[in-house]
């Protein structure tokens, strides 16, 4: 191993070289404070039907249970901001077609980040033969936001998104757990100050309390995670959001200088993004599956996209009358 760089610097250089926008290191000691906050949120039922969040509680707060002998987490973020997806949404909006969350306009980020983390793990094995690693991208029970904050790659906004100093909140997170004992970076404190733009802009008051998301009211949750009917009281506020909602990020001043992603370059685009609301309302299960291969849109299921298209169509028609 070269001696010119510390282990931490070698890892960060490798991460930036692969294309990660941010790379930091966090210790994985469980935090009693985060656990209490999370458990209270679950107890209050603010996670809605996302039952997977209430399971695996010990692992979520103690990553060493996910990798034998784990000592550190290499935390990464990838910028996904894209003017092209905004333009496409702008076109859809102008043509009465309802909008998709910006991250839907490319290949499923779970796949992209997993490949990048696997590449990082491969490079680390060259530097540190015999090391153990485990890549995590929002699929294992792990507290990604807490680790990202601890590793200094982002801080927590009142909209509950993590915000990078360089890239704002248009970022995806991932972690590589390792048995290497690494020196941690300094955690970041929130920089929201007296700003409340995201809370004021939220159409459903899902951010009634700063830093606490009531997922049961959030349009992202309702249109993507919620199964079955969406309560009628939310239909109007859903407006033209057919998949997700970006409003609390769109208004955040830390996103005003967002930079174009170099990783999510629209080489892949689900055909669903080209379909009209009428066609989406009628899309068959088979068509939906075929059109969401490698797409994050698959998460809302065929029933969900048909349901959402119906609500958006109704909203747009009532605007016209």
Taking CB positions, which residue lies at the least distance from ligand SF4? 157
Residue 72 or 82 with smaller CB distance to ligand SF4: 82
Burial of 36 (0-12, 13-18, 19+ CB in 10 A): exposed
**What is the distance between the terminal CA atoms of the chain, rounded to a whole angstrom?**
70
Residue 63 or 98 with smaller CB distance to ligand SF4: 98
Residue 94, C-beta contacts closer than 8 angstroms, at least 6 positions apart: none
Residue 124 or 202 with smaller CB distance to ligand SF4: 202
Residue with tokens 């955690």: 187
Which one of 108, 138, 200, 285 is the catalytic residue? 138
Question: 108 catalytic, yes or no?
Answer: no
* Residue 163 C-beta: closest distance to ligand SF4, Å: 6
Strand-pairing partners, residue 155, are: 163
Residue 233 or 267 with smaller CB distance to ligand SF4: 233
* Residue 46 C-beta: closest distance to ligand SF4, Å: 11
* Residue 193 C-beta: closest distance to ligand SF4, Å: 7
Site residues for ligand SF4 per CB under 6 A? 157-159, 192, 195-198, 202-204, 206-207, 213, 218-220, 245, 247-248, 251-254
User: Whose CA is closest to 160, among 245, 234, 225?
Assistant: 245
* Residue 182 C-beta: closest distance to ligand SF4, Å: 29
Judge whether 23 and 117 are in contact, CB under 8 Å.
no
Burial 94-128 (b: 16+ CB within 10 A, else e): eeebbbbbbbbbbbbbbebbbebbebbbebbeeeb
Residues annotated as catalytic are 138
């Amino acid at each position: 191993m070269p001696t010119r760089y510390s282990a931490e610097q070698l890892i960060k250089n490798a991460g930036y070289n692969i294309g990660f926008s941010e790379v930091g290191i966090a210790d994985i000691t469980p935090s009693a404070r985060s656990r209490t906050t999370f458990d209270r949120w679950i107890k209050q039922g603010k996670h809605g039907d996302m039952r997977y969040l209430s399971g695996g509680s010990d692992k979520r707060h103690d990553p060493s249970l996910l990798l034998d002998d784990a000592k550190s987490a290499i935390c990464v973020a990838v910028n996904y901001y894209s003017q092209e997806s905004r333009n496409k949404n702008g076109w859809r909006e102008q043509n009465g077609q309802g909008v998709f969350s910006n991250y839907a306009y490319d290949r499923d980020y779970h796949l992209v980040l997993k490949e990048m983390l696997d590449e990082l793990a491969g490079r680390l094995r060259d530097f540190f033969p015999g090391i153990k690693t485990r890549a995590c991208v929002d699929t294992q029970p792990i507290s990604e936001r807490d680790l990202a904050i601890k590793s200094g790659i982002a801080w927590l906004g009142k909209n509950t998104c993590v915000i990078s100093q360089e890239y704002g909140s248009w970022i995806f997170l991932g972690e590589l757990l390792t048995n290497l004992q690494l020196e941690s970076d300094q955690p970041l404190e929130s920089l929201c100050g007296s700003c409340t733009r995201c809370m004021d802009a939220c159409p459903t008051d899902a951010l009634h309390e700063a830093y606490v998301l009531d997922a049961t009211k959030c349009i992202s949750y309702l249109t993507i995670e919620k199964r079955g009917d969406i309560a009628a009281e939310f239909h109007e506020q859903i407006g033209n959001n057919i998949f997700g909602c970006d409003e609390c990020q769109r208004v955040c001043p830390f996103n005003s200088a967002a930079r174009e992603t170099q990783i999510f370059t629209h080489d892949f685009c689900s055909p669903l993004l080209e379909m009209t609301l009428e066609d989406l309302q009628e899309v068959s299960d088979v068509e939906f599956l075929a059109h969401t291969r490698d797409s994050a849109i698959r998460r809302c299921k065929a029933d969900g996209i048909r349901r959402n298209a119906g609500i958006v169509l109704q909203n747009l028609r009532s605007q016209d009358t």
